[in-house]
């Protein structure tokens, strides 16, 4: 089953409204702070003769202005409770929240199933202004299925990934079973997976997979020269470098004219094994080594910190922002944070990686 989240395309830039609102809030916060600071001076100048009109003594001065500051800082967003929402529980195709959302581009997206309409609403937090119209029109009683509050954005995202996991658990487990089978297959098959992970940096995984398939079909992967391999790396970025990495890695793991990888992979400590891969496979960093280990069924304790995963981690507040570069120390630090987050949302680390990937791309891949 393939699920995608559909957004209407248009000139409207996602997140622009939220950014505008934050700028607006920041500006008014500044004005209110200046006003508070000036109140005693204004009192001294204008209300010395009429102290009962004093701004610092009035209700506005004492309560309203201080109260409005935190109110201005609150970012409210809608969140759908999928255990109550009518389309989600299969009761009706309500979608009143979507029809009534006033945001250009619509802050209520709908999930699609393999290109067909799947009619289940999903709040897009980067578009939602928190106006509350969806909550007002929601017919579910006594508690509405969509609510607007300040913590809803993070809750909505957590519910979103939990829902993806719940609905795709079987598919995710089937993928893990496939990975374990690859890990138990021949040295040649494991080497092909290793080459797939050599090719993925800055390239689409689908293109890397297609290139590996072609290399195998044309009997080039295990014996071909760098130039021959290079010819089949269509759609893979930096094909010259990557062809050369494949040949160097093949040479490193060839013994008596045979590729031998299984012995190398016998190491039980996954972190030691990952470090050894980084040292032994040309083109591998921690991300590529983790990817390879996950694809041969050894990924339960390690994270593949590619840009999709980092984007999701930032969106869930696990990391403050996507780092421009990641050294070893940073990688391990983010990996630890992702593990803690996986515990909090009760999704195994390797499954969380798949869920994040799905959330970003709309499909599962290896
Ligand atoms: S209006 Fe309420 S019940 Fe209807 S689709 Fe939206 S959240 Fe679900
Ligand atoms: S709160 Fe307003 S902007 Fe957000 S989804 Fe509901 S109707 Fe749309």
Q: Are residues 149 and 94 in the same domain?
A: yes
- How far is residue 124's CA from residue 6's CA, in Å, rounded to a whole number? 10
Residue ending a domain, choose from 35, 53, 73? 73
Residues in Cβ contact with 343 at an 8 Å cutoff, skipping those fewer than 6 apart: none
CATH of the domain at 151: 3.30.70
Of all protein residues, the one whose alpha carbon is nearest to atom 5 of ligand 1 is 95
Q: Ligand 2: distance of its center to the CA of 109 in Å?
A: 11
Residue 244 located in a structural domain: no
Res 11: pLDDT: 40
Atom of ligand 2 nearest to the CA of 148: 1
The one-character DSSP state at 248 is H
Residue 361 located in a structural domain: no
Residue 42 located in a structural domain: yes
Res 278: pLDDT: 97
Ligand 1 is surrounded, with C-beta below 6 A, by: 80, 85-87, 94-97, 121, 137-138, 140, 145-146
Residues in Cβ contact with 103 at an 8 Å cutoff, skipping those fewer than 6 apart: 17, 127, 128, 129, 131
Q: What string of pLDDT tens digits covers the 366 residues of the chain? A: 333 444 444 344 444 555 565 566 566 667 777 776 776 676 666 666 566 555 555 555 555 555 555 555 555 778 888 778 888 887 778 999 999 999 888 889 887 554 555 578 888 877 888 888 999 999 999 889 998 875 555 556 666 788 889 889 999 999 999 999 999 999 999 999 999 999 999 888 889 999 999 999 998 999 999 999 999 998 899 999 999 999 999 999 998 889 999 999 999 999 999 999 999 999 999 999 999 999 999 999 999 999 889 988 988 878 888 898 999 999 999 999 999 999 988 899 999 999 998 887 777 877
Q: Are residues 130 and 159 in the same domain?
A: yes
- Provide the annotated active-site residues: 287, 306
Q: What share of the chain is helix, strand, coil (3-state, %, to 5)?
A: 55, 10, 35
Query: Does residue 125 line the site of ligand 2, with CB under 6 A?
Result: no
Q: Are residues 143 and 125 in the same domain?
A: yes
CB-count exposure of residue 316 (10 Å: 0-12, 13-18, 19+): buried
- How far is residue 250's CA from residue 192's CA, in Å, rounded to a whole number? 10
Residue 198 located in a structural domain: no
Atom of ligand 1 nearest to the CA of 120: 5
Of all protein residues, the one whose alpha carbon is nearest to atom 8 of ligand 2 is 101
Q: Are residues 69 and 87 in the same domain?
A: no
Q: Are residues 86 and 109 in the same domain?
A: yes
Peptide bond into 37 cis (omega under 30): no
Residue ending a domain, choose from 73, 93, 122? 73
Of all protein residues, the one whose alpha carbon is nearest to atom 6 of ligand 1 is 97
Q: Are residues 87 and 160 in the same domain?
A: yes
Query: Does residue 152 line the site of ligand 2, with CB under 6 A?
Result: no
Residue 127 located in a structural domain: yes
Res 101: pLDDT: 92
In the chain, how many domains are there? 2
Residue 304 located in a structural domain: no
Burial of 232-250, coded b for 16+ CB within 10 Å and e otherwise, reads bbeebeebebbbbbbbebb
Residue 245 located in a structural domain: no
Q: Are residues 162 and 80 in the same domain?
A: yes
Atom of ligand 1 nearest to the CA of 85: 8
Of all protein residues, the one whose alpha carbon is nearest to atom 2 of ligand 1 is 138
Q: Ligand 2: distance of its center to the CA of 167 in Å?
A: 25
Residue ending a domain, choose from 33, 54, 73? 73
Structural domain boundaries enclosing 37:
16-73
Residue 25 located in a structural domain: yes
Q: Are residues 39 and 59 in the same domain?
A: yes
Q: Ligand 1: distance of its center to the CA of 83 in Å?
A: 11
């Amino acid at each position: 089953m393939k699920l995608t989240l559909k957004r209407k395309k248009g000139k409207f830039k996602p997140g622009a409204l939220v950014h505008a609102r934050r700028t607006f809030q920041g500006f008014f916060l500044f004005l209110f702070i200046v006003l508070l600071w000036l109140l005693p001076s204004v009192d001294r100048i204008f209300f010395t003769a009429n102290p009962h009109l004093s701004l610092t003594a009035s209700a506005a001065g004492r309560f309203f202005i201080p109260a409005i500051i935190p109110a201005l800082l609150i970012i409210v967003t809608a969140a759908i409770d999928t255990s109550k929402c009518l389309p989600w529980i299969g009761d009706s195709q309500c979608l009143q929240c979507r029809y009534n959302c006033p945001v250009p581009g619509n802050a209520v997206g709908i999930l699609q199933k393999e290109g067909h309409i799947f009619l289940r609403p999903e709040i897009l937090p980067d578009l939602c202004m928190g106006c509350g119209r969806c909550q007002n029109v929601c017919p579910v009683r006594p508690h509405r299925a969509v609510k607007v509050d300040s913590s809803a954005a993070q809750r909505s995202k957590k519910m979103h990934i939990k829902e993806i996991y719940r609905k795709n658990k079987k598919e995710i487990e089937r993928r893990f079973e496939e990975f374990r089978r690859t890990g138990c297959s021949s040295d040649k098959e494991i080497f092909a997976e290793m080459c797939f992970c050599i090719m993925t940096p800055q390239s689409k995984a689908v293109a890397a997979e297609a290139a590996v398939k072609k290399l195998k079909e044309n009997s080039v992967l295990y014996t071909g020269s760098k130039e021959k391999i290079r010819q089949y790396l269509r759609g893979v970025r930096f094909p010259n470098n990557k062809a050369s990495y494949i040949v160097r890695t093949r040479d490193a793991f060839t013994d008596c004219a045979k590729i031998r990888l299984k012995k190398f992979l016998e190491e039980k400590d996954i972190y030691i094994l990952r470090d050894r891969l980084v040292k032994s496979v040309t083109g591998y960093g921690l991300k590529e080594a983790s990817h390879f280990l996950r694809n041969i069924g050894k990924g339960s304790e390690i994270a593949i910190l590619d840009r999709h995963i980092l984007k999701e981690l930032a969106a869930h507040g696990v990391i403050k922002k996507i780092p421009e570069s990641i050294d070893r120390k940073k990688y391990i630090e983010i990996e630890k944070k992702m593990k803690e987050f996986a515990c909090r949302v009760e999704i195994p680390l390797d499954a969380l990686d798949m869920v994040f990937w799905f959330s970003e791309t709309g499909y599962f891949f290896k």
